[in-house]
A and B are shown apart, each in its own frame.
Chain A
Amino acid sequence: MSKFILLMLKNLGRNKLRTTLTALAVTVLVTICVVVLSVVATVRMQLSTEASQAKLIVTERWVAPSEVPVRYIPRLTRIRGVEDWTTWNLYVGFFDKTLRSDRAGLGFATRVENLTRMHGGLENVDPAVIEALKNEKSGVLMGSTLMQAMNWKVGQQFTFFSTSTAGKDLRFKIVGVMPAGVYPLSFFFRDDYFAEGTGNKDTVSLVWLRLRDASLAPRVISQIQHDFASSQPALKVETESSGVARFVEKGKVILFIIDFVALILSIDMVILLSNSISISTRERRVEMAVLKVLGFQPLHIVAMVVGEAMLIGALSGLAGAALAWGASALAQSGRLPSDGITSFLLVFPVPAQAMMWGALAGASIGFVGSVFPAWSARKVKVSDVFSRIA
């Protein structure tokens, strides 16, 4: 068996230029595919987990920016089916006085006690970081991309120049960083620090309600609409998934297009490999006939050709995925300057399993691409070895 693999390897070494070019092309295509697909996978995963969490967003109905009176909160959270809640106050501004757009940021003032439970993606934040946030009133949990863009370390202090609450600039101290891809361009800080610093103790931008079960949503929504029907200001309630859905409705088309691009790339790879394998089998028809004369079965020939293609496919698939993964890991390690590409890779981290999938996908592409050439190669007639070809 190992001898057959050795033979396949040697066959691949026959035309090193062709093998290298084919492998390179497949590698590049797999790299692109892996990045593109991990973008789609990350977005899809976020959509589905957020949607399944059955969260409601309560905002002020008519006025933007929304200001929900704090006095509403006890009535909202008492409704049956509401399991947990938090609030956001949006705090918009800049990290320095230049007011350059690449120094802009968005802060969320929120409750610390259930911060990790109420925000998808923050479940695994180190408890020590939350503890630090509880001890440090001006503490901030930073988005990873922001952190890189500003080239800051944990412990860094900064002043945020607010545009939403003019003149109320707050001084912050970074106590932790969020996982890559989770609110990458925002930061969380304490609601009591916000209230104290801006003097706004009476309203929040929005209230998050988490329900025991997604199926309770229609009932809770109609209850809120009933309870607050005559309140001033009026409230608007929607499920997070409908909010997200509205947000990604256009995004869905893009996801579909991205999938389509990945499909086209795969077809490209199949054609590329198939072409390369056909040429190499055509060059070796006599040899294959000789192998058959020596007693090799047609299936041996098919296995040899398909095996070669799968080998080259798997190796370049592995290489391509490793490339994408390596780039993503390097970007996340913070050793790269944060430009367009690295922040993109940060938002859509490539998992290490991608390498296994890359190798598997490469092997499958090799299989599909070589089935036809292999099938025709198996039919070489042994009697031709003496008469025609020789």
Chain B
Amino acid sequence: MSQAPEILVRVDRAVKHYFRGSECVEVLHEVNLEIERGDFVGLIGPSGSGKTTLLNLIAGLDQPTSGHIFFAGNEISAMNESQLARWRTNAVGFVFQFFHLIPVLTAFENVELPLLLTNMSARRRRDHVRMVLKAVGLDHREHHRPGQLSGGEQQRVGIARALVTDPALIVADEPTGDLDSKKSKEILDLLQMLQEELHKTLLVVTHDPNVAGRTRRLLRIDSGRLIEDRCDANRPLPLRRAAPVAVSSNSAGLVDQPG
């Protein structure tokens, strides 16, 4: 049952300039990159090297100064802001270092938020949210506000929110940066589960060697150039249509596209 790997993300000679006053700074120099569907990719590099900038381009939060970004064959670097917003809802899930949950909403409501932008019925939304909260192990915290949750729990809610629209790609910028090492490990386990069992494609920016060590493929960027690209050949990509196992039995429904 082997398949040709499918390219989910293709970055084609992407250049990014920023203007600081009148001075033009080139943050990314002609970056070329392909990410296969189902991969777990780490992105490391010194501070200010352009990691977040590259992540923003791939996730459709920013546009390259020149070059092209393709997602599943569609050029997202040609979309306007509102097309991008619509595209992001279904295509990309975001996990933040500081969680960025809405403090007035419960865990349930925070996770439900992206679904409000789809035309999914209230009933299906509820089932979906319950399912992902269960997948991240927080079904017993549904009605807690972020302020009543520990850091690790908040990040799980953040991951559940990233997962709820069933996007193909999940991006994370320093997802464990604000957690202690024990909680970091739990979050990493969870991320790995997303890849291995839910077949998500993961792109994770990190300074954390533990995180870097867990990824299947590791990119190093320095001064806006990709300088290292190491892939763990002993770890095959999970088969896309692999039968769901153990934990994912309760998350099997995630695979169908929302409304």
Q: Which residues of A contact B (CB under 8 A)?
A: 3-4, 7, 10-11, 13-14, 286-287, 290-298, 382-383, 385-387, 390
Contacts and interface: CB of A to CB of B under 8 A. Distances in A.
Contacts of B88: 293-295
B31 interface: no
B102 A386 contact: no
Contact of B61 (A297, A298, A385): A385
A383 B97 CA distance: 14
Nearest to B173: A386
7 contacts: A293-B61, A293-B88, A294-B161, A295-B86, A385-B61, A386-B56, A387-B53
Given A4-B116, A295-B117, A390-B96, A10 B105 contact: yes
Contacts of A7: 105
A374 B62 CA distance: 22
Main DSSP-derived SS at the B contact region: helix
Given A10-B105, A290-B96, A390-B97, A296 B85 contact: yes
Interface string B55-91: 1100001100000000000000000011001101110
Contacts of B105: 7, 10
Nearest to A388: B52
A383 B56 contact: yes
Contacts of A390: 96-98, 100, 173-174
Given A383-B56, A386-B56, A386-B173, A295 B96 contact: no
Most chain-A Cβ atoms within 10 A of its Cβ — which of B53, B55, B62, B174?
Answer: B62
Given A10-B104, A290-B100, A387 B89 contact: no
B108 to A, nearest CB: 12
B96 A297 contact: no
Nearest to A2: B122
Interface in B101-122: 102-105, 112-114, 116-117
Nearest to A295: B89
Nearest to B165: A295
Nearest to A1: B116
A294 B62 contact: no
Contacts of A292: 85
Contact of A296 (B90, B100, B117, B173): B117
B52 A386 contact: yes
Nearest to B57: A383
B103 A386 contact: no
B94 interface: yes
Contact of B94 (A13, A294, A387): A294
B113 to A, nearest CB: 6
Nearest to A12: B104
A3 B119 CA distance: 13
Interface residues of B, number: 30
Nearest to B162: A294
A14 B85 contact: no
B52 A387 contact: yes
Nearest to B158: A290
A60 B56 CA distance: 91
A294 B104 contact: no
A203 B242 CA distance: 111
Most chain-A Cβ atoms within 10 A of its Cβ — which of B89, B97, B104, B174?
Answer: B104
Nearest to B96: A390
Interface string B19-54: 000000000000000000000000000000000110
A386 B55 contact: yes
B53 A14 contact: no
A286 B100 contact: yes
B82 to A, nearest CB: 6
Given A382-B61, A386-B61, A387-B52, A294 B114 contact: yes
A312 B220 CA distance: 51
A181 B116 CA distance: 53
Nearest to A387: B52
A386 B96 contact: yes
Contacts of B161: 294
B144 to A, nearest CB: 15
Contacts of A10: 104-105
Contacts of B52: 386-387
Most chain-B Cβ atoms within 10 A of its Cβ — which of A13, A295, A382?
Answer: A295
Given A14-B104, A390-B173, A385 B96 contact: yes
A3 B126 CA distance: 13
A223 to B, nearest CB: 75
Contacts of A295: 85-86, 88-90, 114, 117
A295 B96 CA distance: 15
A89 B197 CA distance: 100
Closest 4 CB pairs of A and B: A295-B89, A383-B62, A10-B104, A290-B100
Nearest to B117: A295
Nearest to B113: A294
B100 A14 contact: no
Contacts of A298: 81-82
Given A385-B96, A390-B100, 15 more contacts: A3-B112, A7-B105, A10-B104, A287-B100, A292-B85, A294-B88, A294-B89, A294-B94, A295-B114, A295-B117, A383-B56, A385-B94, A387-B53, A387-B56, A390-B98
A377 to B, nearest CB: 15
Nearest to B101: A290
A3 B62 contact: no
Contacts of B174: 390
Given A294-B113, A294-B114, A385 B62 contact: no
B164 to A, nearest CB: 10
A297 B52 CA distance: 22
